[in-house]
Amino acid sequence: MNCKNCTTPRCLSVEKGKDGKQRVKLSSIESSKCLLKYLSQKPLSELVGKVTSDLLDELQNGIKKASQKHYGIEPRDQSFNNVRGAWFEKVVSFWLWSRWYEYCKNIGGIPYFVLKLPDAAKFNFVKIFCSEEEEKVIGSLKKHLDNHGVALETSNPDFVVVTLKAGEHKSCPVKHKDFSLENLGRLEDLYRNFEYLENLYRGFRNKCKYTDVICAIGVKDSLRPDRRLQLVYEGNIFKAVMLHFKTRFWDYSYEIPPFYAIVNGKKAPGKKDARALITATTSTLVDIRLRPERAVDETFYAGRLGDIDQVFSKIKERLESLQKNRV
């Protein structure tokens, strides 16, 4: 990433701080575009062995050089701490969608979608569920909680992977003039359609049943003590909602979808990280009839970009299992 030679660094702007000194402001959106453009210009086979933290460091160092060249100062370290998480999410999105396209092209259909979810305040993941019965279940739960002065303010996983029923695999349920399997044949097209794919969740509002969920995924660029427990919390909330559907519909055969974590960092997760990430779900602590279950089923360290393929493999396994059960 040759940021130093960038003639118009849109990711950077100058503003005055409260102390009157000039500061460089870093745009997460614009800097992410540079990262995605870089990824889209290389074949996946060339990127498989790329060290993930090195990739993010290259972008960070390039931005620092560009900032020095144009403004004579660099963004504060805190600015990069805030955006590196967003960069890593973009990398994971890019990789999962690239593998998704390859898989769909090979089978000649679209059996599943990887939905990137925004903050829960913007769109809560439960809104993807479609049936009148499912809406009633969530509505009655919220009303019951409200009557006791309790709210249902859930967090979102970073991704929810959903499957489509047989006979609905030939086309995307959400139409877009630039979107088709053919258009995504080259990674340059994935780059062009990236914003659309990020907003694909909107078209899935009221499109899925709870049984269509393959899995959910949480992403963290680092595993500081507070960050690793965020993954546990996200997994807990996701599984609690899915368990509520199972209970209300008396669906004894329904298996709660797994929650996976994809993490990054200079080093693989340590013993304390691993211990925290096998924390039990709250539901298995309060109901002795339930088999003890982790809030985070498996954690995958994306030390290299190709390591994200482990999650792609899990998605395919789950998809095939669900398709067999539907036959």
- pLDDT higher than 80, residue 158: yes
Averaged pLDDT, 204-226: 87
Strand-pairing partners, residue 217, are: 159, 260
Rounded Cα distance between 273 and 265, Å, is 12
Rounded Cα distance between 21 and 70, Å, is 17
Instruction: Write the DSSP symbol of residue 308.
Output: G
**Last residue of a domain, which of 72, 87, 102?**
87
Please say whether the beta carbons of 181 and 104 come within 8 A: yes
Averaged pLDDT, 115-133: 83
pLDDT tier, 188 (very low <50, low <70, confident <90, very high otherwise) = low
Averaged pLDDT, 183-194: 64
* Confidence at residue 260, expressed as pLDDT on a 0 to 100 scale: 97
Q: How far is CA 55 from the centre of its chain?
A: 19
pLDDT tier, 171 (very low <50, low <70, confident <90, very high otherwise) = very low
Mind listing the pLDDT tens digit for each residue in 32-63?
A: 988 998 898 888 899 999 999 999 999 999 89
Instruction: Name the more confident of 255 and 178.
Output: 255
Rg (CA), the chain: 21
For residues 111 and 8, state if they share a domain: no
Rounded Cα distance between 274 and 172, Å, is 38
Which has the minimum average pLDDT: 50-59, 85-94, 100-109, 116-125? 100-109
For residues 41 and 171, state if they share a domain: no
* Confidence at residue 218, expressed as pLDDT on a 0 to 100 scale: 95
pLDDT tier, 7 (very low <50, low <70, confident <90, very high otherwise) = low
For residues 47 and 111, state if they share a domain: no
The residue range of the domain holding 282 is: 92-326
**Last residue of a domain, which of 64, 87, 110?**
87
- pLDDT higher than 90, residue 170: no
For residues 280 and 201, state if they share a domain: yes
Give the CATH number, domain containing residue 163: 3.40.91.10
For residues 44 and 185, state if they share a domain: no
Q: Round the average pLDDT of the chain to a whole number and report it.
A: 83
* Confidence at residue 284, expressed as pLDDT on a 0 to 100 scale: 84
Averaged pLDDT, 209-224: 90
For residues 99 and 69, state if they share a domain: no
- pLDDT higher than 90, residue 116: yes
The two tokens of residue 81 are 């701490």
Mind listing the pLDDT tens digit for each residue in 237-248?
A: 999 889 888 888
pLDDT tier, 146 (very low <50, low <70, confident <90, very high otherwise) = confident
For residues 71 and 109, state if they share a domain: no
Percent of the chain topping pLDDT 90: 30
Residue among 178, 190, 254, 251 at smallest CA distance from 44: 190
* Confidence at residue 223, expressed as pLDDT on a 0 to 100 scale: 83
Q: Residue-wise over 77-95: b if at least 16 C-beta within 10 A, else e?
A: eebbeebbbebbbbbbbbb
- pLDDT higher than 50, residue 184: yes
pLDDT tier, 169 (very low <50, low <70, confident <90, very high otherwise) = very low
- The CA-atom distances, in angstroms, between 321 and each of 16, 25, 120, 143, 317 are 56, 48, 29, 35, 6
For residues 79 and 177, state if they share a domain: no
Among 92-96, 126-130, 222-226, which range has the highest average pLDDT? Answer: 92-96
How many domains, in total, are found in the chain?
2
| Residue entry with tokens 């399997």 | 181
Please say whether the beta carbons of 217 and 311 come within 8 A: yes
For residues 121 and 249, state if they share a domain: yes
Mind listing the pLDDT tens digit for each residue in 279-320?
A: 888 888 887 777 888 999 999 999 999 999 999 999 999 888
